[in-house]
Amino acid sequence: MQGIYLHIPFCKQACHYCDFHFSTSLKKKTELVEALCQELVLRKNELSGTVETIYFGGGTPSLLTREELALIFKTIYNNYPVAEPVEVTLEANPDDLTEEKIKQLADSPINRLSIGIQSFFEEDLKLMNRAHNAQEAEHCLTLATKYFENISLDLIYGIPEMTNERWKQNIEKALSFGIPHISSYALTVEPKTALETFIKKGIVPPVDDALAEKHFFTLIETLEAANFVHYELSNFGKESYFSKNNTAYWQGKSYLGIGPSAHSYDGKNRSWNVRNNTLYIKAIEKGELPSETESLTTTDRYNEYVMTGLRTIWGVSLHRVEQEFGERYKDYLLQQAQKHLEEHLLYLDGDTLLVTKKGKFLSDGLASDLFLLNL
H/E segment holding residue 51: strand 51-58
130/126 Cα distance (integer angstroms): 6
H/E segment holding residue 220: helix 209-225
| Mean pLDDT estimate for the chain | 96
Domain boundaries, the chain: 2-249, 298-370
**Amino acid in position 85:** P
60/113 Cα distance (integer angstroms): 12
Average pLDDT, stretch 292-314? 96
174/223 Cα distance (integer angstroms): 10
Which residue, among 293, 291, 286, 264, has the nearest Cα to 35 in the 3D structure? 286
Domain 2-249 fold is pyruvate-formate lyase- activating enzyme (3.80.30)
Partnered with residue 56 across adjacent β-strands are 6, 90
Q: Which tens digit of pLDDT belongs to each residue from 85-120?
A: 999 999 999 999 999 999 999 999 999 999 999 999
Burial of 145 (0-12, 13-18, 19+ CB in 10 A): middle
User: Residue 375: its pLDDT value, please?
Assistant: 54
Identify whether the C-beta of residue 224 lies closer than 8 Å to the C-beta of residue 243: no
CATH number of 298-370: 1.10.10.920
Angle between helices 298-310 and 327-342 (to 10 degrees): 30
Q: Where are the alpha helices (DSSP H) in 243-297?
A: 244-250, 277-285
User: Residue 374: its pLDDT value, please?
Assistant: 67
Q: How far apart are the first and last CA of the chain?
A: 31
Q: Residue 373 — very low, low, confident or very high, per pLDDT cuts 50/70/90? A: confident
Q: Which tens digit of pLDDT belongs to each residue from 209-266?
A: 999 999 999 999 999 999 999 999 999 999 999 999 999 999 889 999 999 999 999 9
189/156 Cα distance (integer angstroms): 13
Q: Is 259 left (phi over 0), alpha (psi -120 to 50) or beta?
A: left
